[in-house]
Amino acid sequence: MLKIKDLHVSVEGRKILDGLDLEVPSGEVHAIMGPNGSGKSTLAQVLAGREGFEVSGAVEWDGVDLLSLPAEERARRGLFLAFQYPVEIPGVSNAYFLRSAVNAVRRYRGEKELDAMDFLKRVKAEMQTVGMSEEFLYRSVNEGFSGGEKKRNEVLQMALLEPKLAILDETDSGLDIDALRIVADGVNRLRSPERSMIVITHYQRLLDYIVPDRVHVLSRGRIVRSGDRELALELEKRGYGWLEEERRKEPRGVGQR
Amino acid sequence: MSAVQGWVDTFRAEAQRLPGAKLPWLAGARARAIERFAALGWPTNKLEKWRHTSLALLAQQEFAVPPVDRVDLAAGALAQLRQGAEAGHWLVFIDGQFAPGLSDIGTLPAGACVDSLAGALAQRPERLEAVYGDAEEGESPAALNLALAGDGAYIELARGVAIEAPIHLVFVGGVSKGTQLVRNFIVADDGAQVTVVEHYIGRDDATSFTNTVTRVRAGRDARVTHLKLQQESAQAFHLAALDAVQARGAYFASHSLAFGARLARNDISSRLEGEGGEALLNGLYHVDGKRHVDHYTRLDHNSPRCTSRELYRGILDGTGRGVFTGRIYVAPGAVKTDAEQRSDSLLLSAGAESDARPELEIYNDDVKCAHGSTVGQIDETGLFYLRSRGLDEQHARNLLVYAFAAEVLARIGERSLRSSAAAAIRARIPGGQLLEALA
Amino acid sequence: MSTSTEQLERFLKREYVAGFETPIEADTLPKGLSEDIIRAISAKKGEPDWLLEWRLQAYRQWLKMTPPTWAHIHHPPIDFQDIVYYAAPKKKADGPKSLDEVDPELLRTYEKLGVPLHERARLAGVAVDAVFDSVSVATTFKEQLAAHGIIFCSFSEAVREHPELVRQYLGTVVPPGDNFYAALNSAVFSDGSFVYVPKGVKCPMELSTYFRINARDTGQFERTLIIADEGAQVSYLEGCTAPMRDENQLHAAVVELVALEGAKIKYSTVQNWYPGDENGVGGIYNFVTKRGECRGARSHISWTQVETGSAITWKYPSVILRGDESIGEFYSVALTNHYQQADTGTKMIHMGRNTRSTIISKGISAGHGSNTYRGMVRVTPKAVGARNYTQCDSLLIGDKCAAHTFPVIEARHPSAHIEHEATTSRIGEDQLFYAMQRGLSAEDAVSMIVSGFCKEVFKELPMEFAVEAQNLLGVSLEGSVG
């Protein structure tokens, strides 16, 4: 269970999130939609522990104060962020990176670290399911990967790290329809009663493939409307304009859960 | 001695005893060289080429040409170096003098000559006369080297001869206050191929002085790869020059890995004198404490259709200082030149300093030249990405420092050399041993 | 290749339209430099003793100095005793009280140069100070500016009317002994412009100075001082021309800018001194020291230069970023054709916290021209959070020209973030072909490519002058400059 209460975030004095409230119960998939610049990516990054933001408010997750934890501890406790722009790390092989990450998480959970052999077996199996060739293990992390390959690499990491809360930040951006389907299949396979997901997207297209339990609309730093899947379809028809309009009329926001 | 006069006196006392002293051309060149050194003195930062590095400190040090030290302290270090390395060809020098007992030249193909300089001066002086070098060349430390160097390696390959395994030259220097003056030659005739590795290993914390010159001549379509791994003691002074001349279609690569010495200066240059030549200058340096490493590099595109690539990276820690100059010169008429240069430095601590001068000097319009230079810190986005995957911050930082270095190492073609270079940088950076498993 | 090169070269052989001479009687001092000459200059201008003393000090320092040799330029040694250090158009008593009293011959000169001084024909919204050889002959819009408290006048007048301001700021950015030519200027400077914009005032119009060398054998040594007080803003432009002559003439100016807290100074130059003929005979030696200091927090100094003239250009408009969060910028286009030589660039000295600088340099070399970018970015040990971005590109036209890039990057703080990129290329056959295949003439194609190359700099120029700059490059840039 993730509970966000009155979250305010700004960067260099510029307000980005302005009193955001959100709850995501275990096992549910929630979509967050909103126009560009509404604060979607900032929310994802703040939840994952990126530094450099001025943050106030409360975020409780799994019974702990999420905001008090450094980024790596959040990851080890099972929070996973699939980056909108996965970072290239030239000089570090994907294999080394994935194994370091998997073992860091396993150590934290008190599980036995995977030796090279076990790790390779697992990673190769997962790579097959997301349709990545083994060659990617020996290339530098994300370096020279196409947009689709980078996103698959994110889903691969998610499968390996078995998170409790996965946040997918615009995972559909820059993907053609085939790549989108493969990525969505990867995500759907990971849906389970123990795992919550937040799917951040600008377009409703992704939600045809990853069907959410709830849909929230973020506008100017706040959730302005929540609903079920129908809300996403309505947004597609009417755009974001009408909600912004409503927000202007009713500055405290409506429809928060 | 290290005051200029001290060296002149040493020359007077020792000149007659140097190998090759009886060769008139050499005696003459040495005499002119010591005169030139005496006239120029140690370079200071009043000279444009030495703007960020002064050797004034050196003039205050006292060095002696050490008595020949045959106690084989070097054996242990050597064994370590050779561990896991290919059998190949190993020449060991102690305090600048060839140590045949520790060396293992191995089996060479016909047409290849691998000898000490002293040996070659005795055996084939006429070959050396052609390549030995001129008193007027290079900076003043190179003149001092010409005047006083008595040993080093002489490698010569006849037309079309290829030596597969690298030739390792191991220079074990530095009894305290000791000096080594070394002069090496790599002469590859048309179509010949060779890889030469120079290792410089210091002992303990010895305040020693190394002055080394390596001259490379690559004939038509020859391929010469040179790798230098400088791991002298943190108190050592290390002055080095590497001069290459490339004929038509020749390939020359220099990999300079500078991890040691209190003060190190490397003058590295290649002249592309024939069409279609290809040069790679690759370098990585790490400074910490008060250490200072300077690379002054120059590529002269004197012929059409040559390609050069240069990539230098520096990791600067403590109050260390890293200096890089890269000049690309394109002569009139050197059409279709394709030259690219990059230099990047990573500043890890307050007090560390980075100076860079990426220079282009171009007299011709039909060229494609670019350079780029950055000074920065560990990329915060990369750090966040690693941490968001569960790596702790320190480990993530070390990994990114290593990754920064690894891009330079990736350009070293020979696998065994690449892994020994990787081991050397891991031994330097914080937490490097944890990165052992890094592919 | 040869066809397009020829087309390019023909295209670059434009005429120097400002090369005429004004027949006007001049009041000159004899050739040569000595303490007596300096005293004579000072006396002619009726200067106070402290300024004469300041000049003499500079002169004594200069005597001990030697001309710099590090630049990538070549010229025969200059005989400093063979130069006239003071020349002024003969005038009645005390100089013109108003424009109506200015010699009509002078007014005609400026009109011919496209700089009408009559306010009814004035450039819209631009105040002009016109400097002819060693003196300022007219300054327009003074009253309108004075209403805002802005002082815009000749340097000589500033010494008379505002000695306290001159004394407070003169030489504080470029000290008299800064370099050989700055010391020479400090000893003999004759006139120039002075600007003071008071606290919080945003200067309502562009200010500009038009420099004209006319007299033979004469050096021009003007001195400009611009002070933007707290929160003030000013945009200033200078233009320069000279007659065509076979001998070389020396121009050694000093420009000092001081930006106090929150102030912004934008300084633009369109330099079109006579460049010499196509065989490299004659032309101006343009040896100039320009430097600005961001003295206060959040101050901002921006240099933009379009250098198309002069036989030799030697100048490095620089910014000392002393104030926290101050910003320095340098945008430059330098064109060298025939036998012109340019060694130009900038220094950005980061000293305050969170300072930022941007350097965009575009060098174009044609004919036997030689073009050098020389720059320094220095981050001092206390400059936390300094940022620099540098881009210097060279465009080569023809196989006898030269282009060089000599930057120095010195970082002394671990938070420094510096990025330097440079490229050298020529106008590509394929670019030309592509454009011509789409129906453009060779001229239009080159024009388009060159303008594209310079675009980032042109867009920094005040609108009125962007057009002039483009015309100077000999290219019509319609629609391609945003």
Is the pLDDT confidence value at C386 over 90? yes
Could you tell me what percent of chain A has a pLDDT over 70? Answer: 95
- Provide the CA C268 distance to its chain's centre, in angstroms: 7
Q: Which residues of B335-370 are buried (b: 16+ CB within 10 A; e: fewer)?
A: bbbebbbbbbbbbbeebbbbbbbbbbbbbbbbbebb
Pairing mode of beta strands C206-212, C233-241: parallel
Q: Which residue is listed with tokens 């890995």? A: B257
In this predicted model, what pLDDT tens digit does every residue of B228-262 receive, in sequence order? 999 998 989 999 999 999 999 999 999 999 999 99
pLDDT at B179: 87
Residue A177 has which token pair? 């329809």
Average pLDDT over residues C128-142: 74
Minimal-distance CA residue of chain C relative to B371 = C422
- Which range of A183-192, A203-212, C6-15, C401-410 scores highest in mean pLDDT? It is C401-410
Residue B410: list chain A partners with CB under 8 A: 91
Give the burial class of C457: count Cβ atoms within 10 A of its Cβ; 0-12 exposed, 13-18 middle, 19 or more buried: buried
Residues in chain B: 439
Chains B and C in direct contact, meaning 3 or more beta-carbon pairs closer than 8 angstroms: yes
Residue A81: list chain B partners with CB under 8 A: 388
Which domains, ranges and CATH numbers included, belong to chain A? 2-249 (3.40.50.300)
Q: Which of A45, A47, A89, A107 to substitute to test the interface with B, most B CBs within 10 Å?
A: A89
Q: How confident is the model at residue C108 (pLDDT cuts 50, 70, 90)?
A: confident
pLDDT at C2: 42
Q: Which helix (H) or strand (E) holds C108?
A: helix C104-112
Of C402, C414, C417, Cβ closest to residue B352? C414
pLDDT at C10: 55
* A→B interface, C-beta within 8 Å: 45, 48-52, 70-72, 74-76, 80-81, 83, 86-87, 89-93, 95-97, 99-101, 104-105, 108, 116, 138, 140, 157, 161
Give the start-end residues of each E strand in B86-220. Answer: 89-94, 97-98, 112-116, 153-157, 167-172, 179-188, 193-201, 209-218
Of A45, A101, A140, Cβ closest to residue B389? A101
pLDDT at C477: 29
Name which of A83-87, A217-221, A233-237, C121-125 the model is least confident about.
C121-125
Minimal-distance CA residue of chain A relative to B385 = A87
> Sign of the CA dihedral B124, B129, B135, B136?
negative
In this predicted model, what pLDDT tens digit does every residue of B114-172 receive, in sequence order? 999 999 999 999 999 999 999 998 999 999 999 999 999 999 999 999 999 999 999 98
pLDDT at C482: 26
Is the pLDDT confidence value at C228 over 70? yes
The number of helix segments (H) and strand segments (E) in chain C equals 11, 23
Q: Which residue is listed with tokens 């911050």? A: B393
Average pLDDT over residues B182-194: 97
Residue A93: list chain B partners with CB under 8 A: 438-439
Of B52, B347, B366, Cβ closest to residue C414? B347
User: What phi, psi does B27 have (nearest 5°)?
Assistant: -60, -40
Q: Cβ(C369)–Cβ(C340) under 8 Å?
A: yes
pLDDT at B57: 78
Residue B376: list chain C partners with CB under 8 A: 416-419
Average pLDDT over residues B183-193: 98
Count of other CB atoms within 10 angstroms of residue B162 = 16
Distance in angstroms (rounded) separating the CA atoms of residues C363 and C405 = 10
Q: Name, in order, each residue with C-beta under 8 angstroms of B31's C-beta and a sequence gap of 6 or more.
A: B15, B147
Does A101 contact B438 at a Cβ distance shorter than 8 Å?
no
Does B365 contact C416 at a Cβ distance shorter than 8 Å?
no
Does B366 contact C399 at a Cβ distance shorter than 8 Å?
yes
Of A51, A74, A91, Cβ closest to residue B404? A91
pLDDT at A241: 76
- Minimum distance, in Å, between the CA of residue B261 and any CA atom of chain C: 21
Distance in angstroms (rounded) separating the CA atoms of residues A111 and B152 = 56
Residue B398: list chain A partners with CB under 8 A: none
In this predicted model, what pLDDT tens digit does every residue of A12-38 receive, in sequence order? 889 999 999 999 999 999 999 988 888
Does B390 contact A81 at a Cβ distance shorter than 8 Å?
no
Does A71 contact B387 at a Cβ distance shorter than 8 Å?
yes
Residue B370: list chain C partners with CB under 8 A: 421-424
Does B390 contact A49 at a Cβ distance shorter than 8 Å?
no
Count of other CB atoms within 10 angstroms of residue A27 = 14
**SS3 category, C104:** helix
Average pLDDT over residues C93-99: 54
pLDDT at B35: 95
Name which of A211-220, B321-330, C245-254 the model is least confident about.
C245-254
Rounded mean pLDDT of chain C? 84
Chains C and A in direct contact, meaning 3 or more beta-carbon pairs closer than 8 angstroms: no
Residue C423: list chain B partners with CB under 8 A: 369-370
Q: Cβ(C340)–Cβ(C275) under 8 Å?
A: yes
- Residue ranges covered by each domain of chain B: 3-274, 378-439
* C→B interface, C-beta within 8 Å: 1, 70, 365, 379, 381, 394, 396-426
pLDDT at C21: 77
pLDDT at C6: 56
Helix ranges (H only) for C305-441 are: 429-437
Average pLDDT over residues C84-95: 69
Of C401, C410, C419, Cβ closest to residue B365? C401
Distance in angstroms (rounded) separating the CA atoms of residues A61 and A56 = 16
**SS3 category, A117:** helix
Of B359, B375, B377, Cβ closest to residue C405? B359
Is the pLDDT confidence value at C355 over 50? yes
User: What phi, psi does C334 have (nearest 5°)?
Assistant: -125, 125
Rounded mean pLDDT of chain B? 90
Is the pLDDT confidence value at C140 over 70? yes
* B→C interface, C-beta within 8 Å: 48, 51-52, 332, 335, 345, 347-377
Chains that touch B (3 or more CB pairs under 8 A): A, C
Name which residue leads in pLDDT, C277 or B227.
Answer: B227
pLDDT at C480: 27
Of B335, B368, B372, Cβ closest to residue C425? B368
Helix ranges (H only) for chain A are: 40-48, 71-76, 94-108, 116-130, 147-161, 177-189, 229-238, 241-249
Is the pLDDT confidence value at C222 over 60? yes
pLDDT at B189: 97
Residue C394: list chain B partners with CB under 8 A: 360, 362
The rounded radius of gyration (Å) of the Cα atoms in chain A is 18
Name which residue leads in pLDDT, A147 or C13.
Answer: A147
In this predicted model, what pLDDT tens digit does every residue of B100-130 receive, in sequence order? 988 999 999 999 999 999 999 999 999 999 9
Of B380, B407, B439, Cβ closest to residue A96? B439
- Minimum distance, in Å, between the CA of residue B402 and any CA atom of chain A: 8
Q: Which helix (H) or strand (E) holds B373?
A: strand B367-376
- Minimum distance, in Å, between the CA of residue B21 and any CA atom of chain A: 50
pLDDT at C220: 85
Is the pLDDT confidence value at B435 over 90? no
Is the pLDDT confidence value at C393 over 90? yes
Task: State in Å, rounded, how far the first CA of chain C is from the last one.
Answer: 31
Query: Which has the closest alpha carbon to B328: B336, B311, B340, B345?
Result: B340
Of C400, C405, C411, Cβ closest to residue B347? C411
- Minimum distance, in Å, between the CA of residue C373 and any CA atom of chain B: 10
In this predicted model, what pLDDT tens digit does every residue of A103-145 receive, in sequence order? 888 888 899 988 888 999 999 999 998 889 999 998 888 888 9
Q: Cβ(B228)–Cβ(B256) under 8 Å?
A: yes
Torsion of Cα atoms, A33 then A34 then A37 then A39, to 10°: -50
Cβ of residue B25 closer than 8 Å to a chain A Cβ: no
Q: Cβ(B270)–Cβ(B254) under 8 Å?
A: yes
pLDDT at A236: 82
- ipTM confidence: 0.84
Q: How confident is the model at residue A250 (pLDDT cuts 50, 70, 90)?
A: low
Count of other CB atoms within 10 angstroms of residue C263 = 29
